[in-house]
Chain A
Amino acid sequence: MGINFKRRFLPLALAALILFTLCPVHARAKANDGPTETITFVYGSLGIARGQTARYSWAFLLRRPTSANLNETEPEFETIARPDQVAWG
């Protein structure tokens, strides 16, 4: 008794193909569905003389769950993809 491969596996292959196609779309949709927030803050006045550099450093930290809410994990922020740019006045 022969097996009709076309009939049996073609629908499965099609379904798998659709799934593989949809997964990245879903990921992209998730990354883009949130609103953009801008937080602005201004440091106090400072002076830099020749031979000095003002360096601003920042980091986003991993947070561990707190006692109050053990379900808290990492902040749910999405990256906005942009190439690095530096412009000097």
Chain B
Amino acid sequence: MRVQTRLLGADGGVIAQAETTAVGPGQIQSLDFNRGLINVPGELGTGRLQAQLQVEVTVRRGTWITDTSFEREFIKSFVDVLEIVDDTSGRTTVAIGGGKNALSLDDSPGNESLNPKSFQVISAGQDRLFGMAPGETVRFTTFIPNNPAIMDPTRQVSFVQVMLLDASGTQIAQNDEIAVPPGESRSIDFALPLARRVQIRAQVHYRFFIDRTQLNATTSIELLDTTTGRTSVVFPGFTGRVNVASGDIND
């Protein structure tokens, strides 16, 4: 796999470009376009550079994969984000993207009933990419909609757990699973003792009763200043339409 990125000017010309080869599965790779290193005048007064980022991902696929299945597999597996980072603080000020891979259910053989209380174990798999600098807190807020089809309110409760992984794919933080009542939201905060900016991949895991055939959970991510509480970046909530495809758990 090869990833090529080009910063294009208003006239479509290439202002800067960067290229890299693949890293291992689950690892993050970043390409930087530092304004100070781009020798283009930009706008009068500010030097601001208006540009578009073009990304080309080239992969070699096995001949046994058809064109249509290739596209489907690629979209499921590839996740990316574009951030504008302040050079001095290392903080992200704006971000686009950050997670679009498909959901997956972790009810593979041996994992169907890890919890004895008849919960379905779900790995929502909506990994998100973002960078985090010293002095920042990342907040995950999950909303679980009410499902009127379920009469027993105790079986509407769902559980959420977040794991943070660094660029090498190593887990660096994880919260204790929290319960989210139906129709309510709950937040999970991580204030990591960072010495410098790190690029992070977040995994959000949901567990819910088999009574719900769809979870429709929404989890938004915010980066905020730990001292002032001010939000600097918001990654909008992703509605996870988790479909439960098996009902092999007995109460």
Contacts and interface: CB of A to CB of B under 8 A. Distances in A.
Interface of A: 30-68, 70, 74-89
B39 A89 contact: yes
A62 B79 CA distance: 11
Nearest to B9: A89
Given A52-B85, A64-B108, A76-B62, A47 B21 contact: no
A77 B1 contact: yes
Contacts of A54: 7, 32-33, 35, 51, 53, 82-85
Contacts of B2: 80, 82
Given A58-B80, A84-B19, A47 B65 contact: no
A81 B32 CA distance: 21
Contacts of B74: 37, 39, 75, 77
A15 B77 CA distance: 41
Interface stretch (B23-31, B135-143, B151-159, B174-182): B23-31
A77 B199 CA distance: 24
Given A55-B30, A55-B32, A58-B28, A67 B245 contact: yes
A40 B52 CA distance: 13
Interface of B: 1-3, 5, 7-8, 14-23, 25-40, 42, 46-65, 70, 73-74, 76-88, 93-94, 96-97, 101, 104-109, 123, 125, 127, 129, 131, 199, 201, 243-246
Contact of B199 (A57, A66, A89): A57
Contacts of B26: 59-62
11 contacts: A44-B52, A50-B35, A53-B35, A54-B32, A54-B85, A55-B33, A57-B199, A58-B78, A63-B77, A77-B1, A88-B38
A66 to B, nearest CB: 5
Nearest to A41: B55
B21 A84 contact: yes
A61 B25 contact: yes
A79 B36 CA distance: 32
Given A58-B29, A58-B81, 7 more contacts: A33-B63, A35-B60, A42-B54, A54-B32, A59-B27, A60-B77, A82-B2
Contacts of B94: 46
B17 A53 contact: no
Contacts of B86: 51-52
A33 B51 CA distance: 37
A87 B18 CA distance: 6
A74 B123 CA distance: 16
A89 to B, nearest CB: 4
A49 B63 contact: no
Contact of A40 (B49, B55, B63, B245): B55
